[in-house]
Amino acid sequence: MAKIHVLDKHVAELIAAGEVVERPASVVKELMENSIDAGARHVTVEIRDGGVTYMRITDDGCGIPREDVPTAFLRHATSKVREEADLNGILTLGFRGEALASVAAVARVRLMTCAAGEMVGTRYEIHGGEEILLEDEGCAEGSTFEIEDLFYNIPARMKFLKKDVSEGNAVAGVVERLALSHPEIAVRFIRNGRTELQTPGDGDLFKCIHAVFGKAFASGLIPVDYCMGGVTVTGYICKPEACRQNRSMQHFFINGRYVKTQTAMVAMERAYKGVMMVGKFPTCVLCLQLPAETVDANVHPAKIEVRFINEKPVFDAVFYAVRSAIESGDRVHQIHLDEMHKSAPKPQPPTISPTKTSSAPPTVGTTAKPIVPVTPPVRVAAPSFLNLSVDDRPTQQVALADEPLFKGATPYRAVSQEKKPPVVACQTLAPEEPDQPEQQSVLPSEKPPIRVLGELFSTYILAQMGESLYIIDKHATHERILYNSLIQNERADEQMLLAPVSVTLSRDEHTAVIENLELLKKAGIALEDFGESTVLVRSFPLMLSGEDVEGTLREIASGLADGTHRVAPAKLEWIYHSSACRAATKAGDSSQPAELEELARRALWDDAVRYCPHGRPVCIEMTRRELEKEFGRIQ
């Protein structure tokens, strides 16, 4: 065993800095929190190259007195905590005295500051923990930090940073959350010389939300204002119909600090029970105020997790606040958006002309294109009024499983007793015999004939084959056919759009899309980064012709951003799932007899179409013997 020794001071500082400074966003978070604690009314954040090469944070706070400047960069030096008792009622965002020392240990730092009452300011430079310069500087009251060459002295850490776009989006996310936590502070964010965010700083949370997330998000909100058991809950939640497919737009703030709290999240989602679709999640910007001594913020290195002395009052307050807001949702906060644009301008990307004609969905009830047995992928331009994945409509499955078609009938068995898992994209991207039509290999002529009897609820096909009655799910069958055709080709057929479609995503969704441009291209979706969390869609899968481009991309981006699909094959499989589900004929669509016959033939003859991509059977069977038993013809 090696001899135990005390680490060199410089090495120890680098190790300690690793807990605080993980990426550029960590630096911006720590310095913005210092600005807020200093009483700033205006904070400007500027970055270049994702923040790796340059960051500047400017505020008009109280500044740092000249004699305290060198001390501020020492580890565990702070003005916010003096004794143990102070830890029991922390109201400031920072308190450990680690931020400046950690940043200075891994970057080149320049500080210009001037405290109230000082005639001249101070300029201080420190590189990698070593003091370089301390001199007078003419500057306004407040502080300006310039951070250059992050991790220049730790090349190994540089390898773990993501692309500049991803790192920049992470910084933007931090700025947005801190802006929401303090709407009374005017926050400005500049990336590569372009202003992306500017909040009014007038204390109006709704205006701040509008500036951060835009008009579309803000227009779907319901105000919350509730007090119970010493816990005050204010802010905004979304209307039930505006819920999303992940939790990325849930923002909770406790005493002005952004936190991730299971207690508040579960309480809010439980309040939506009964008014929100299965598989959807509410969005919110909720601010909780409670006594500082009842919450401990010193339990996580990044201080984004908290611990409550008693969780029940917090849970109850959030639950009843959200529930009462939903019940009185008709009194939605009204505001003149044109006037709000003047007071808090939010930069927008240039308008794309002509308008996006290709994203308009057809009207409900239009007839889908006929489905014919051909070798290329089956393409259907079906109505897209039901923009839900199969997972979001479990009632069809439940009705079949729990409510027999005939009174007293036993539950039906699936066509195949052995459930086959969904096909994994990475295992079947290259078919063994690409020149052979699929029908020749999986639909042999000796299969018994099929007689289509009709449709049930415009959703199910009734068909007879041999001595059995089959009930076939049109959507699930068509979805599996399209999915199989996608995974059997190395690249999906695509079509160029007449005019590119501009789609604005959340920060997380935008990052996920930019990081997976090649996979999306493989699936037939060609995108271009347009900045400010906006992408331009230039081509789209041919099978999705007539579908809502924006809605489809949002669904795919949401699935990529939720972190469930971590490896490329799983991500590609998700993209194919979503595309196939969107393109497939929907429940309630009217179908031509030829379409019904083709779907029935594929469902009953093709062994690869036994289950939809989500693992559900595409059809159920009831034999003649079972029917005769139900009618008492046989015992």
Report d(CA 106, CA 475) in Å as an integer.
55
- The CATH homologous superfamily for domain 9-198 is Histidine kinase-like ATPase, C-terminal domain (3.30.565.10)
> Pairing relation of β-strands 307-308 and 186-191?
unpaired
pLDDT value, residue 374: 36
The mean per-residue pLDDT over the stretch 490-511 comes to 84
Asked if 55 and 146 count as a contact pair (C-beta separation under 8 A), the reply is yes
pLDDT (mean) for 298-309 = 77
- Better-scored residue on pLDDT, 46 or 521: 46
pLDDT number for residue 574: 74
pLDDT of residue 390: 34
| pLDDT greater than 50 at residue 302 | yes
Which amino acid does the sequence have at 546?
G
Of 176-180, 246-250, 266-270, where does mean pLDDT reach its minimum? 246-250
pLDDT at 564: 66
Residue 555 pLDDT more than 70?
Answer: yes
| pTM of the full structure | 0.66
Mean pLDDT, range 413-434, rounded to an integer? 37
| Residue among 360, 460, 382, 442 nearest 607 (CA) | 442
Look at residue 165 and tell me whether its pLDDT is greater than 70: yes
Q: What is the mean pLDDT of residues 74-78?
A: 81
> Does residue 128 surpass a pLDDT of 70?
yes
Tell me the C-alpha to C-alpha distance, in Å, between residue 150 and each of 26, 31, 410, 444, 515. 11, 14, 67, 64, 22
Answer whether 511's CB lies under 8 Å from 165's CB: yes
Specify the pLDDT at position 304. 79
Question: For position 135, what pLDDT does the model report?
Answer: 93
Tens-digit pLDDT profile for residues 560-593: 887 666 667 777 777 887 888 877 888 888 788 8
The torsion of the CA quartet 320, 323, 324, 328, rounded to 10 degrees, works out to: 170
Nearest to 81 by CA among 96, 63, 71, 69: 96
- With 0-12 / 13-18 / 19 or more C-beta atoms within 10 angstroms meaning exposed / middle / buried, residue 261 is buried
- Reported as a single tens digit per residue, the pLDDT across 250-268 is 999 999 999 999 999 999 9
pLDDT number for residue 562: 74
With vertex at residue 285, the alpha carbon angle to CA 284 and CA 290, rounded to the nearest 5 degrees, is 120
Which pLDDT belongs to residue 430?
35
pLDDT over 50 at 422, yes or no: no
Instruction: Identify whether the C-beta of residue 288 lies closer than 8 Å to the C-beta of residue 253.
Output: yes
pLDDT at 427 over 50: no
Local confidence band at 87 (pLDDT 50, 70, 90 cut-offs): low
361-405 pLDDT, tens digit per residue, is 333 333 333 443 433 333 333 333 333 333 333 333 333 333 333
Q: What tens digit of pLDDT does each residue of 321-353 get?
A: 999 999 886 444 444 444 454 554 444 444 434
SS (H, E, C) 482-520: HHHHHHCCCCCCEEEEEEEEEEECCHHHHHHHHHCHHHH
Whether residue 110 is predicted with pLDDT greater than 50 in this model: the reply is yes
pLDDT computed for residue 76 by the predictor:
78
48 has pLDDT over 70: yes
**Length of the chain, please?**
635
For residue 234, report the phi and psi dihedrals to the nearest 5 degrees.
-130, 165
- Token pair, residue 104, equals 């200075």
Q: How confident is the model at residue 157 (pLDDT cuts 50, 70, 90)?
A: confident
How many angstroms from the chain centroid is the CA of residue 546? 25
Q: How confident is the model at residue 226 (pLDDT cuts 50, 70, 90)?
A: very high
pLDDT digits over 447-485, tens only? 788 889 888 888 899 999 888 899 999 888 988 888 888
Burial code (b: 16+ CB inside 10 Å, e: under 16) for 332-364 equals eeeeeeeebeeebebeeeeeeeeebebbebbee
* Residue 284 to residue 252: CA distance in whole angstroms: 8
**221-331 has CATH 3.30.230.10 classification:** yes
Alpha helices in 76-144, H assignment, sequence order: 99-106
Across the range 594-602, mean pLDDT stands at 89
pLDDT (average), residues 190-202:
94
For the stretch 8-38, pLDDT in tens is: 777 776 666 666 788 999 999 999 999 999 9
Tell me how far apart the alpha carbons of residues 286 and 251 are, in angstroms, rounded to a whole number: 6
Partnered with residue 288 across adjacent β-strands are 233, 254
305 pLDDT band (50/70/90 cuts)? confident
Residue 610 has pLDDT above 60, yes or no: yes
Give the pLDDT band of residue 195 (cuts 50, 70, 90): very high
CA atoms within 13 A on the CB side of 398: 5
Is residue 130 pLDDT above 70, yes or no?
A: yes
Range from 208-217, 300-309, 335-344, 589-598 carrying the lowest mean pLDDT:
335-344
Q: Residue 129 region, left (φ>0) first, then alpha (ψ -120 to 50), else beta?
A: left
pLDDT at 265: 94
Confidence of residue 6 (pLDDT cuts 50, 70, 90): confident
Give the whole-number percent of the chain exceeding pLDDT 90.
35
Return the minimum-mean-pLDDT range out of 52-61, 94-103, 335-344, 510-519.
Answer: 335-344
Looking at domain 494-583, its CATH architecture is 2-Layer Sandwich (3.30)
Q: Report the C-alpha gap between 305 and 297 in whole angstroms.
A: 7
The residue ranges of every structural domain in the chain are 9-198, 221-331, 387-487+589-628, 494-583
- In angstroms, the CA 367 to CA 241 distance is 27
CATH level 3 topology of 387-487+589-628: formyl-coa transferase, domain 3 (3.30.1540)
In this predicted structure, what is the pLDDT of residue 492?
75
pLDDT above 60 (res 314): yes
> How confident is the model at residue 183, as a pLDDT?
96
CA torsion through residues 337, 339, 344, 348, sign = positive
8 Å CB contact between 610 and 602: no
pLDDT at position 424: 33
Tell me the C-alpha distance between 143 and 39, whole Å: 11
115, pLDDT greater than 80: yes
